[in-house]
Amino acid sequence: MSQYLLSSLIFTPIAAALFVLFIPNEAKKTFRIVTLAISAIQLGLLIFIIHQTKDSTFSSFLLTEKANWFSIDLGTWGVLQAEYFVGIDGLSFSMVTLTVLIMLIAGISSWTIDKNVKGYFILLWILNGAIVGTFVALDFLLFYLFFEFMLLPMYFLIGIWGGPKREYASIKFLLYTIFGSILILIVLIALYLSVQNPDVQDRVVHTFNLIHMTDAANYITGSILNPDKGWMIGAHSARWWAFVLLFIGFAIKLPAVPLHTWLPDAHVEAPTPISVILAALLLKVGAYGLLRIAYPIFPDIATSLSWFVALIGVISIIYGALNALASKDLKRLIAYSSVSHMGFVLLGLASVTTEGVSGAVYQMFSHGIISALLFLIAGVLYDRTQDRMINNYSGLSSKMPMYFTIALIGFFASLGLPGFSGFIAEIMILLGAFRSFSANGLIHESFAIVATAGLILGAAYFLWALQRMFFGPFYIKSEIKPSQLVDLDKREYSMLLPLVLLILVFGIFPQILLDYINPFAQHFTDSVLNAVRTIQNP
């Protein structure tokens, strides 16, 4: 049983999508129940995984699953082989947990959808499976497959169920991400041609296995990406180019400035549950790709370009915050705050210190739940009034006191108040980034110092929005009727309160998650730094 745990996690929602093809479109209740059932099954599986692995030593993977996917003999060209290879370690675990939680919340939030419900939920479940698959895949081809598999449901979910400018937003989203995907695909092919399977001795068997790709010994002599004598393209080695392509590809997803402009539009136009998934999960795929693929496979280049990664991170932090300050649309503000917060992930990652990397992963998790909360908050207002302009509201706290309380918690959590999960993540990232210079010399201390300005700006834009929307005398734009402004209902509580609780729990008891993240972070930093050493002095 336990060897199929991960597969069941991935394929439960996809199977459900196939199953409901036979259910008529009108049976709205069925879709809701199936959504809840999927999440319940996934949660159960997750708890089972936690239970199964609680004694494991955590050195690398808690669980793996491997099967031959296809293997085609190409004669003198070797063997074309891909595996169905999935596994879960601390990083995957936290991301999968996040996915399951957010999908549950997004499922509940999707109850208000009434346009072509069946199509919507089928796409949602395919997305669910694809995201989980992306987070557990250990075969590059499989990863890429799931990675691409996420885009289309997302494209349709924004393009069909979105707001007024949905076509523009969805096309922009698709073009950006497809562009990134192509860059990743190029590297995928180059890597495939360069790496051989060490398990087969007598002949050359190419492999997509991500674990094999991290080991410099598996690179075929004279191949494109060989760490010792790889090809040169222009002034730089092919490995340099490969890392840069991967970085751009994943930075688009992250999103890092200046590749971020799809995000605000996509968020503004997407329906609330899709915004939640987009911010909480899809952005994490970019960071996950950097942590799982770009850094471990190209440690030599990654560390030499760490300053660049950190620079992009700091620019994202400041630039995102400034843009948030200038936003007039609540969702746009939150979207830019996401850019700012994901910049912290880059900074932590670039430091390659245990606390920095732990902080980066923690930030991925924490931003997942916080941004989900924020987008739900924006959605609550939008559901009532179809208006998200900050200036059209004032003094809402008197009409909607509970909504005010939740929004207050969400905003303060996002600006990094201690006690909420975001603080733990950001402080660890800053500590790691600052210590990096003395610990491994990768990035300069000034990056961390400049990044603290992001915290000040974060306070500025959130408090400014809070002040204008909730404080002051009650006022709303004349098109809105005050009767529309009713306080939260039960369904909304059932989404918001668990998130608030999670944010608090992970802010006060970080060890719960750090138990999973720590071994990964340590393994990651050790292996990256060791690999650099072996490549430089073989």
Partner 1 sequence: MEKLITIEILTGAALLTPLISFLLCLLIPVRFSWVVTIVAPILLLISTSISIYLFVVVPNNTSLLISIEWFHVAQYSFNGNVEINRLSILMMPLVTMISFLVHLYSIGYMVGDNGTKRYFAMLGFFTFSMLGIVLSDNLLMIFIFWELVGFSSYMLIGHWIEKPASASAAKKAFIFNRIGDAGFLIGIMIVWANTQTFDLQEILHMSEIYSWQTAASLCIFCGVIGKSAQFPLFTWLPDAMEGPTPVSALIHAATMVAAGVFLLSRVFPLFTDASLQVVAVVGAATALLAALSALNQFDIKKILAYSTISQLGLMVTAVGVGSANAAMLHLTTHAFFKACLFLGAGSVIYALQIANRQTENFDVQDIRNLGGLRKKLPTTFFTFIIAAASLAGIPFFSGFISKDSIITSIWYWSGNTFSWRWLLLVAIFVVSFITVLYTFRMVWFIFFGKEKQSASAVTEPPWILRVPLLILASASVWFFIAWSPFNPSGWFTTLIGGLPDSILVTSISGGLVLLAFVTAWFVYTYKKTQIKSLRILQNGFDLDIAYQKLVGQSTVQLATVAETVDRKWIDGFIHVAAYAQVSVAHVVLWFDKYIIDSSVNAVAWLAGVAGSFTRSFQAGKIQLYIFWAVAGLIIFLFFILI
- DSSP string spanning 334-353? HHHHHHHHHHHHHHHHHHT-
Q: Confirm or reject binding of residue 172 to partner 1 (CB under 8 A).
A: yes
Q: CA 52, 506, 358 angle in degrees (round to 5)? A: 75
Q: Under rule CB under 8 A, which residues in 399-428 are in contact with partner 1?
A: 412, 417-419, 423-424, 427-428
Q: Confirm or reject binding of residue 355 to partner 1 (CB under 8 A).
A: yes
Burial of residue 33, with CB atoms counted within 10 A of its CB: 0-12 exposed, 13-18 middle, 19 or more buried: exposed
What 3-state DSSP class applies to 395? coil
Q: Please give the C-alpha separations between residue 23 and each of 20, 28, 79, 118, 119, in angstroms, as whole numbers.
A: 5, 10, 43, 8, 11
Nearer to partner 1, 349 or 431 (CB): 431
Q: Confirm or reject binding of residue 397 to partner 1 (CB under 8 A).
A: yes
Options 522, 527, 529, 535; binder of partner 1; rule CB under 8 A: 522
Going residue by residue from 473 to 502, which x/- string records binding to partner 1, judged by CB under 8 A? xx----------------------------
Q: Confirm or reject binding of residue 261 to partner 1 (CB under 8 A).
A: yes
Strand partners, 394: 475
Rounded CA-CA distance 172/179 in Å is 11
* Smallest distance from partner 1 to CB 511, Å: 4
Q: Confirm or reject binding of residue 467 to partner 1 (CB under 8 A).
A: yes
Q: Confirm or reject binding of residue 323 to partner 1 (CB under 8 A).
A: yes
Q: Confirm or reject binding of residue 457 to partner 1 (CB under 8 A).
A: yes
Rounded CA-CA distance 538/525 in Å is 19
Of 23-31, 145-153, 380-388, 464-472: span binding partner 1 (CB under 8 A): 464-472
Q: Report the phi/psi class of residue 220: left, alpha or beta, with left for phi > 0 and alpha for psi in -120 to 50.
A: beta
Of 118-126, 227-235, 259-267, 491-499: span binding partner 1 (CB under 8 A): 259-267
Of all helices (H) and strands (E), which one includes residue 513?
A: helix 511-536
Rounded CA-CA distance 502/169 in Å is 31
* Smallest distance from partner 1 to CB 521, Å: 7
Q: Confirm or reject binding of residue 510 to partner 1 (CB under 8 A).
A: yes
Which has the closest alpha carbon to 250: 334, 299, 185?
185
* Phi, psi for 82 (deg, rounded to 5): -135, 145
- DSSP string spanning 257-323? TTS-THHHHHHHHS-HHHHHHIIIIIHHHHHHHIIIIIHHHSHHHHHHTHHHHHHHHHHHHHHHHHH
Check if the beta carbon of residue 194 is closer than 8 Å to that of residue 220: yes
Of 100-108, 157-165, 170-178, 306-314: span binding partner 1 (CB under 8 A): 170-178
Options 3, 112, 116, 398; binder of partner 1; rule CB under 8 A: 398
Total number of residues that touch partner 1 (CB under 8 A): 60
Options 27, 145, 186, 453; binder of partner 1; rule CB under 8 A: 453
* Smallest distance from partner 1 to CB 520, Å: 11
Q: Confirm or reject binding of residue 194 to partner 1 (CB under 8 A).
A: no
Q: Confirm or reject binding of residue 181 to partner 1 (CB under 8 A).
A: no
CA 388 to chain centroid: 25
Rounded CA-CA distance 5/1 in Å is 7
Q: Confirm or reject binding of residue 15 to partner 1 (CB under 8 A).
A: no
Q: Confirm or reject binding of residue 464 to partner 1 (CB under 8 A).
A: yes
Nearer to partner 1, 225 or 413 (CB): 413
Residues at the contact surface with partner 1, assessed by CB under 8 A: 172, 175-176, 258, 260-261, 264, 319, 322-323, 325-327, 354-355, 358, 395, 397-398, 412, 417-419, 423-424, 427-428, 430-431, 434-435, 437-439, 445, 448-449, 452-453, 455-457, 459-460, 463-464, 466-467, 470-474, 509-511, 514, 518, 521-522
